[in-house]
Amino acid sequence: MSKIMIYAEVTRDNYLHTVVFELAYKAQKLAEKLDSADVSALLICKCGLGENFKEAFMNSGFDNVYIVENDRYTHYSTELYSKAAIEIIKEVQPDIVLIGATTQGRDLAPRISSSLHTGLTADCTGLDINENGKLAATRPTFGGKLMATILCKTLPQMATVRPKVFKPSPENIVKNTNFIYKDFEIADIKRKVEFIDFSANLRNEINELDSAEIIVAGGRGMKNEEGFELLKQLADVLDGTIGASRDAVEMGLAPQSAQIGQTGKTVTPKLYIACGISGAIQHLVGMQEANRIVAINADKDAPIFEVCDCGIVGDAFEIIPKLIEELKK
Amino acid sequence: MKILVCVKQVPDTTDIKWTENNTMQREGVESIINPFDLYAIEHAVNLKKQISDSVVTVLTMGPMQAESMLRKAIAMGCDDAVLLSDKKFAGADTYATGKTIAAAIKNKLSDYDLIICGQFAIDGDTAQTGPSIASQLDIPQVTFVKALERCDGKSLYAIRELEEGMETVKVEFPTLICVLQGSEDPIRPTIAGTIKAQNSSVTVYTMEDIGLDEAGIKASPTYVSKAFRPEHNRGECTYCQTYASLAQKIKEYVNE
């Protein structure tokens, strides 16, 4: 039987990362296409933490969970975590290994795949099983202008996936999960990278855009602070959150944490209103999975109009106040 | 201190056009130094100023045309340049690229302290080649680095930008770091550097020179089975002529 393994990333505040549940549900769908597969999780964490997650694993369709606990794993360390992951993967021999494309996942995954002399496809937006039972991993390249489906000749076939690209299961998938504790001798590994300190972002800076249902985003066309004030008024009427293109951030109109796109956040709101954003591909890759996209732009040829559901051509400074009036009616 | 900077020549992705057959038009697309790699060069040149007797070598794998990019890197302050060029390197994925660069470093440039890479390349955007090189050299890596501090020639402090905040780590050499965009405009060529670049020679190594027996597409575990232009599954844009109809649409979308 085929085996699919998911890396169960633990966040800095000791929760399972949401991407673990998104990958778990995707793994169930891949397992169906493989005529059933064993779905396992790999958890590396400090002593005792695994106990906290057992119920979550049992409700998310995992057949087996491999747990490696040691207090040296309290902070993520490339050196220590990759050692544990490589040992477990060598022993379990999964056909497919999926890892969240977080900073931790993107640091860890290539280290594992290179050590195992296997292939890794980064930042996938689609995962499927092809007619030969192989993982077909689809990802955007060239800043999203080209999609490529990538196959891997060796095992395990590895892929990373950004958070929020896939959805978690809408209901519990209850399994009689086996929890298998593993231990490695790591006391003698001397770390060359030493943790010094960590300063957290302000909480509201992180979560607002990630969980926003409605985003009102501004670009270069919003010109100045007055323009962003208009966006705030529109966002207030819709109970939405402000986002920005890279241009707007570079113009100092919005903080870096509000930036959406290739070098910023990926968002998937219910409604995305793009104001004065031309729609450069680097921006589109961060928001094109929104359920609905509305564009307000003065340039009728702006690429944003190619990806939106509805739009209006004109000066955002004129349109937005009128739109607010209409929405209040 | 010996610093190696790994750079990549990439097509300017802001300038990609499509042919009528939905394939990417490659002719006439300008090649540039991967923008993230400019920050790698900048960090290296800054460290060279801080630590006396430092040497910065810029390294790439690519076609012979990549030589002009390496000269630009010299103009920005690198001391010498190495180009890994061989038809057998073509079609390499990130694993094979890491293997090739690691082999060149082991065989020809083993006397290094620090390797600096850009975190991403704007064409592939995998962020995998740096860690792949580090893994195959069996040295530690520090990724998502925003700033470097307190380099003493044997170790440095790296400040990493993560989702939840900024992490500071201390790393001993030899090591490989992958750098993000810095906060200021990246480094530019100087006049003195440009003159130096014109008179510098670029060392070229082939697969045989670096002691590899397999590279490129043959050494790559992954391959592209299909490439296609992304499709948007929403229909044509509905253009609203009035503010009322726009507001109506927005209300519909909110209530879906």
B189: nearest Cα among B38, B32, B82, B2? B38
Where along chain A do the CATH 3.40.50.620 domains lie? 2-182
pLDDT confidence of B109, banded at 50, 70, 90? very high
For position A256, what pLDDT does the model report?
78
CATH number for the domain harbouring residue B58? 3.40.50.620
Distance CA A263, CA A218 (A): 16
User: Is the C-alpha dihedral spanning A6, A134, B98, B126 positive or negative?
Assistant: negative
CB B97, CB B61: distance < 8 Å: yes
pLDDT for B23-59, tens place per residue?
Answer: 556 666 778 899 899 999 999 999 999 999 999 999 9
Residue B83 placed within a domain: yes
Distance CA B94, CA B61 (A): 12
Interface list for A 116-135 with B (CB within 8 A): 117-123, 130
In angstroms, what is the C-alpha Rg of chain B? 22
| Ranges A277-286, A288-297, B101-110: which has the least confidence | A277-286
- Count of other CB atoms within 10 angstroms of residue A296: 27
Residue B239 placed within a domain: no
Cβ-defined contact of A312 to B239 (cutoff 8 Å): yes
For position A285, what pLDDT does the model report?
80
B111: nearest Cα among B53, B187, B40, B49? B53
CB A271, CB A308: distance < 8 Å: no
pLDDT for B60-90, tens place per residue?
Answer: 999 999 999 999 999 999 999 999 999 999 9
Q: What ipTM was reported for this prediction?
A: 0.89
Which residues from B are below 8 Å from A308, CB to CB? 234, 237
Query: A103-115 vs B129-137: helix axis angle to the nearest 10?
Result: 50
CB B199, CB B192: distance < 8 Å: no
pLDDT confidence of B228, banded at 50, 70, 90? confident
For position B233, what pLDDT does the model report?
63
- Strands, E assignment, chain A: 2-7, 37-45, 64-69, 96-100, 120-124, 126-129, 135-141, 146-152, 157-161, 178-182, 193-200, 214-218, 241-244, 271-275, 292-297, 310-313
Q: How far, in Å, are A17, A46, A186, B148 from residue A189 at the CA level?
A: 27, 16, 5, 25
CB B54, CB B60: distance < 8 Å: no
CB A125, CB A139: distance < 8 Å: yes
For position B28, what pLDDT does the model report?
66
Residue B246 placed within a domain: no
Distance CA B217, CA A283 (A): 32
Annotate A37-92 with DSSP letters as a single string: EEEEEEEEESTTTHHHHHHHHHTBT-SEEEEEE-GGGSS--HHHHHHHHHHHHHHH
pLDDT confidence of B18, banded at 50, 70, 90? low
Best B19, B25, B31, B164 member to test A by mutation, with max A CBs in 10 Å, is B164
pLDDT at B16 > cutoff 70:
no
Query: First-to-last CA distance in chain A?
Result: 60
Distance CA A66, CA B221 (A): 26
pLDDT at A275 > cutoff 70:
yes
A208 φ, ψ (degrees, to nearest 5): -55, -50
Instruction: Give the residue-averaged pLDDT of A99-125.
Output: 96
Instruction: Give the residue-averaged pLDDT of A210-219.
Output: 91
CATH number for the domain formed by residue range(s) A2-182: 3.40.50.620
pLDDT for A50-64, tens place per residue?
Answer: 999 999 999 999 999
For position B20, what pLDDT does the model report?
61
Where along chain A do the CATH 3.40.50.1220 domains lie? 203-328
Instruction: Give the residue-averaged pLDDT of B200-215.
Output: 95
Closest Cβ–Cβ partner in A111, A123, A263 for B131: A111
Residue B240 placed within a domain: no
Look up residue A225 and give its two tokens: 């602070």
Which residues from A are below 8 Å from B246, CB to CB? 294, 310, 312, 319, 323, 326
Instruction: Give the residue-averaged pLDDT of A35-41.
Output: 94
For position B223, what pLDDT does the model report?
92
pLDDT confidence of A65, banded at 50, 70, 90? very high
For position B13, what pLDDT does the model report?
63
Which residues span the domain enclosing B157? 2-223
Residue B238 placed within a domain: no
Residue B90 placed within a domain: yes
* Site of tokens 């080209």: A146
User: What's at B235, amino acid-wise?
Assistant: G
pLDDT for A257-267, tens place per residue?
Answer: 888 987 778 88
pLDDT at B5 > cutoff 80:
yes
Model confidence, pTM: 0.84
Look up residue B230 and give its two tokens: 């992304």
pLDDT for A183-195, tens place per residue?
Answer: 887 777 888 999 9
Distance CA B77, CA A235 (A): 47
Residue A219 contacts B where some CB pair is shorter than 8 Å: no
CB A241, CB A208: distance < 8 Å: yes
- Tell the CATH superfamily of the A203-328 domain: TPP-binding domain (3.40.50.1220)
CB B56, CB B1: distance < 8 Å: no
Element (H, E) at A24: helix A18-33
Instruction: Give the residue-averaged pLDDT of B81-107.
Output: 96
A113: nearest Cα among A80, A70, A159, A67? A159
pLDDT confidence of A204, banded at 50, 70, 90? very low
pLDDT at A205 > cutoff 60:
no
CA-CA-CA-CA torsion for B139, B70, B79, B183, nearest 10 degrees? -70
Distance CA B70, CA B160 (A): 27
For position B229, what pLDDT does the model report?
76
pLDDT for A160-187, tens place per residue?
Answer: 998 888 989 999 999 999 999 998 877 7
CA A89-B89-B19 angle, to 5 degrees, is 100
How distant is the Cα of A37 from the closest Cα of chain B, in angstroms? 23
Residue B55 contacts A where some CB pair is shorter than 8 Å: no
Cβ-defined contact of B95 to A280 (cutoff 8 Å): no
The total of structural domains in chain B comes to 1
Residue A261 contacts B where some CB pair is shorter than 8 Å: no
pLDDT at A219 > cutoff 70:
yes
Closest Cβ–Cβ partner in A107, A312, A329 for B246: A312
Interface list for A 30-69 with B (CB within 8 A): none
CA A205-A211-A213 angle, to 5 degrees, is 125
Residue B212 placed within a domain: yes
For position A188, what pLDDT does the model report?
78
Distance CA B156, CA B159 (A): 10
Average pLDDT for chain B: 90
pLDDT at A66 > cutoff 50:
yes
For position A202, what pLDDT does the model report?
60
